[in-house]
Chains A and B, each alone.
Chain A
Amino acid sequence: MVSHSRALADAALGLAAEMVAEDNRPVIAVAAGLDETTFGTDAAAVAEAIAAADSPDGVLVLLDLGSAVLSAELALEFVDPEIAERVVLSSAPLVEGLVAAVVTASTGASLQAVADEAKRGLLGKQDHLGDVPTPSATVATDNEQSVEVLVSNEHGLHARPAARLVALVNSFDASVTLTDLDTGRGPIDAGSLSMVATLNAQQGHRLRVGASGPQADEALDAVRVLAEQAFGDLPAGALPQPVLRGGSGLDVAIGPAIVWDTAIDLSTYQRADAATEASNSETARTAAIAELAQVQRETTARVGAAEAGIFEAQAALLADPAQLREITAAIDRGASAPEAWSQTLDDLAKTVESLDDPYQRERAQDVRSVRDRVLRLLTGTESAEPPADGVLVVRELDAATAAILDAERIAGIAIRATGTTGHGVIVARSRGIPLITGIGDVQVPLGSVVAFDARANSFMVDPDEEAFRTTIRERTAEREQALATADHPAVTTDGRVVPVMANVGSVQDARDARGADGSGLVRTEVLFGDRRTAPTTAEQAEVFRKIAAAFEGKPITIRTWDIGGDKPLPFLPQAAEANPFLGERGLRVFRHRPELLRDQLQAVREVALETPVQVMFPMVTTAEEVAWGIEILDALGPQPAGLKVGIMVEVPAAALRIDSLALGLDFVSIGTNDLTQYTTAADRTNTAVAALADGLDPAVLLLIDHVVRHVPTGVHVAVCGDLASDPSAAALLVGLGVHELSAVGPQIPLVKARIRRISFEYARHTAAEALTQSSAADVRYLLGAVS
């Protein structure tokens, strides 16, 4: 690299180096400035740099302006003619050209290919700004096989993920093309960083990846896997979507408590001089990367590639130059290697934890997991055998632990921390291990037996073992039976048909929901919760279509953006509120952002032309709010025949005046979680008062009863809260006269099986009695559920 300025060259080099792992980087030699601060170029220095960078593969020289060009040409007269022959002086822009060249060279491309790529370095910028007509760069796609992948990266296919893609593609003997199906751009050459940049593929875009050539199959497979891992971008955004596949569905476990304390004793570590500490640090780091690679391989085999991607992300953290600089600096300041790692990663974990997005916050656990791995290696602490034969009690569950557990021998996992989207939880669930989260600081004495029933949200030390074992046996038998008949309708013994729908937050949820009669709740804020910019109408319609397709044309119930409270959306930041659950939530938010609601309703309308769709507004309190939402919808045009309109009932005020609120609507859907917390004035995530926030509280049931009795004639009543996922509570809801239930996927077969066993008459009788009880515990006793 030839430049007038040393500082410019160093900065450009830093920028380019960031794109490629150090061991893949080509040799980069710099001839810039007459010294650190004097601008100028020196042909002799350029000649030396060329000689330093030279190899039989040749040398590409990138230059800034003026004398850089003259000096570089002159330099060719100074170097060995044999070397000069394999030197290419490039007219590429210095910064863009260097980035493109470094990335392309890292793939082992030829000098000519690297030079071509550098020259195209400006294309991405020109294309984006549209100030220069860019040549059509589409390529032929004859004889191609293809796959479709999704760009889940927060910032789209930006520089680093694009670089990974290009490097991967170029490692195969295949020619690979990309077409952005959302914008119609392409096909372009996926082996060219500049061309990938011109695609400007944003988050949520679908790409068609085409390949031809001897290794076309392998290349497509590899690209698909890379795309699933967000093109290697996992550390920041982690998994593209929380993959909450249902576990065994038993949600109940009993066994000796295995209290797993991950705190590592650093007190015995003897600090040496800084050089030794630095070398210890590096040895541990390298070993940790190797361990993670091993865990990743095992997890791929045992669980799946997507889950295994977590470990790649953890390994990436171990190679993060910013963190490594901190660690080196700490050691230079006199810290021991364990202290340096501890401080640096603790700081990072704290930063992650301070983020607004709860999903992001849970990534802190990955950071701590990496920290513990390195500390263990530094202190020589034996890697403990994975625990087995009991119920694991942990502060938080990291992915590595979840992946190495023997799913056959671990009864269940009880996690003190709240949160259900941590990587550990995801891995454990997908492995079918029963688990409960948010048990808090319960004392678990050594040697005690513990049990939990996640469905009843109960965790017990020294429980009634026989009762639990019976529950487990019953649940197992019940589940087997329920799964066998999942696709049969839920009809009571006296002939009342109760549609049981699924609550979904992803297309995968929809595909996984067995036996569902449609979806009673599509959580749009979860579907697009990882988006930094609001999804377009077309993008939303596309996802809704996929969900409808997964339910094979059965109705789906799309809830408009339900944000606020504990559910922020990155593309709609909200001011901090003293009491967010009583603040701008749900529909309230859109009174001043109606355009976002309008776009979503437009998507709903489009899909409703093709398949039955219900739409509902969350968090309404007054008839005026309902009228406002409907006005926005009506303003978009005549209502499609297949579209039904409703509201959520979560606010006691809405339940109490349902007769006027639901006038003219097709349906109402009761959100029992919020209705419970607003009725009992208790936050169920606050362990101090969580027991009060019980959906079976008769006060909540009285409100549901009121809704069913006073709803205008012809308006259907559904329940989509957690209560509908609990088979015995679901039976109670049927008895209260609720027409339709919507449960979490894995519970649907169980809810249906329960309904098939009861008569509507009996359920009504039980429900009437429940309304007269004085507490949730009494109701639960009445239902005969384990509590």
Chain B
Amino acid sequence: MGVDAFANWLRDAANTLHENAAYLTELDSAIGDADHGSNMDRGFTAVVALLDETTFETPDELMKKAGMTLVSKVGGASGPLYGTFFLRLGTALAGVEITPATVGEALKAGVGGILARGKAELNDKTMYDAWAPALDAYDEAVAGGSDLGGALVAAAEAAAKGRDATIPLVARKGRASYLGERSAGHQDPGATSTTLLLESAARTLG
């Protein structure tokens, strides 16, 4: 699998995020500053522009450049968070053969970056609540002999469950944490966009 598959992932993710931009913003307006959809859309639109302008030789190069683009263009907290994710993902993919295992390691490295940056824990009502079960499900699937596509599908399904599980949680990180108890009853926008990204990966990297 080469750089094109990863480029397709980003293009597909950009489409999905664009289509869901209003939805994400609506989720964010309930407990945040009502910009998650437009921020992600702006960031990934810039990533698509990057893909149109530049030819990348390797997935790691592409992932790192996409990460930097997100860092500069997203604006909100998801900029440095997703930016770091793609930067670390890219770094982990450098010089390795793309296999379910190496992609798993890279995903872990990326999520490690999110954790280092956001200092979130499970059940803080953040994107990590989607990432954590997704990583577990991915590993489990790979251990069970699943290919990359299968593992990503499992990961996306787990992420969706994690996303839904954020609804009753009280936010402890980010702008939503200012709301305290009032943040309960709303789905976390970050966990939602994470799920969209993984669903997109399952569609394109399989």
Contact = CB atoms under 8 A, between A and B. Distances in A.
Given A43-B79, A66-B77, A71 B39 contact: no
Given A70-B117, A74-B71, A74-B117, A43 B77 contact: no
B72 interface: yes
B37 to A, nearest CB: 14
Q: Which 7 A-B pairs have the closest CB atoms?
A: A40-B75, A70-B80, A67-B77, A74-B80, A43-B71, A42-B72, A44-B72
Interface in B46-80: 68, 71-80
25 contacts: A34-B73, A40-B39, A40-B75, A41-B75, A41-B79, A42-B71, A42-B73, A43-B71, A43-B80, A43-B83, A44-B72, A66-B76, A66-B174, A66-B175, A67-B76, A67-B77, A70-B81, A70-B118, A71-B71, A71-B79, A71-B80, A73-B117, A74-B71, A74-B80, A74-B84
A40 B76 CA distance: 5
A39 B35 contact: yes
Contacts of B73: 34, 42
A38 interface: yes
Interface in A38-96: 38-45, 65-67, 70-71, 73-74
B68 A44 contact: yes
A71 B68 CA distance: 11
Interface string B123-148: 00000000000000000000000000
B76 A43 contact: no
A685 to B, nearest CB: 63
Contacts of B118: 70
Most buried by A among B68, B72, B118: B72
Given A70-B118, A73-B117, A42 B77 contact: no
A31 to B, nearest CB: 11
Nearest to A65: B175
Most buried by B among A38, A45, A67, A73: A67
A590 B79 CA distance: 66
Contacts of A43: 71-72, 79-80, 83
Given A43-B80, A45-B72, A70-B118, 10 more contacts: A34-B72, A38-B75, A39-B35, A40-B76, A42-B79, A67-B76, A71-B79, A73-B117, A74-B84, A74-B117
Contacts of A38: 75
A784 to B, nearest CB: 87
Contacts of B39: 40
B78 to A, nearest CB: 8
Given A34-B73, A66-B174, A40 B79 contact: yes
Nearest to B35: A39
Nearest to A35: B75
A67 B35 contact: no
Interface of B: 35, 39, 68, 71-81, 83-84, 117-118, 174-175
B80 A73 contact: yes
Nearest to B175: A66
A70 B173 CA distance: 12
Contacts of A65: 175
A34 B71 contact: no
Contacts of B83: 43, 74
Contacts of B78: 67
B75 A44 contact: no
A11 to B, nearest CB: 20
Contacts of A45: 72
Interface residues of A, number: 17
Interface in A233-268: none
Contacts of B76: 40, 66-67
Contacts of A74: 71, 80, 83-84, 117
Nearest to A45: B72
Nearest to A68: B77
Contacts of A73: 80, 117
Contacts of B68: 44
A567 B71 CA distance: 65
A70 B127 CA distance: 15
A71 B83 CA distance: 10
Nearest to B39: A40
Interface in A5-45: 34, 38-45
Contacts of B35: 39
A70 B75 contact: no
Contacts of A39: 35, 75
Contacts of B75: 4, 34, 38-42, 67
Nearest to A72: B80
B167 to A, nearest CB: 22
B68 to A, nearest CB: 7
Contacts of A67: 75-80
A41 B71 CA distance: 8
A543 B82 CA distance: 67
A71 B80 CA distance: 6
A303 B174 CA distance: 63
A139 B76 CA distance: 43
Interface string A136-151: 0000000000000000
A44 B80 contact: no
A42 B83 CA distance: 10
Nearest to B174: A66
A622 to B, nearest CB: 66
Contacts of A40: 39, 74-76, 79
Most buried by A among B68, B79, B81: B79
A67 B74 CA distance: 10
Nearest to A39: B75
B44 to A, nearest CB: 15
A67 B81 CA distance: 9
A6 to B, nearest CB: 12
B61 to A, nearest CB: 17
A70 B81 CA distance: 8
Nearest to A74: B80
A70 B77 contact: yes
A40 B43 CA distance: 12
A129 to B, nearest CB: 21
B183 to A, nearest CB: 15
Most buried by B among A39, A43, A70: A70
A71 B78 CA distance: 10
A65 B76 CA distance: 10
Nearest to B116: A73
Contacts of A42: 71-73, 75, 79
Contacts of A71: 71, 79-80
A43 B113 CA distance: 14
Contacts of B84: 74
Interface in A320-372: none
A321 to B, nearest CB: 33
Most buried by A among B68, B78, B83, B175: B83
B74 to A, nearest CB: 7
A475 B174 CA distance: 84
A71 B72 CA distance: 9
A682 B201 CA distance: 97
Contacts of A70: 77, 79-81, 117-118
Nearest to A33: B75
A34 B79 CA distance: 11
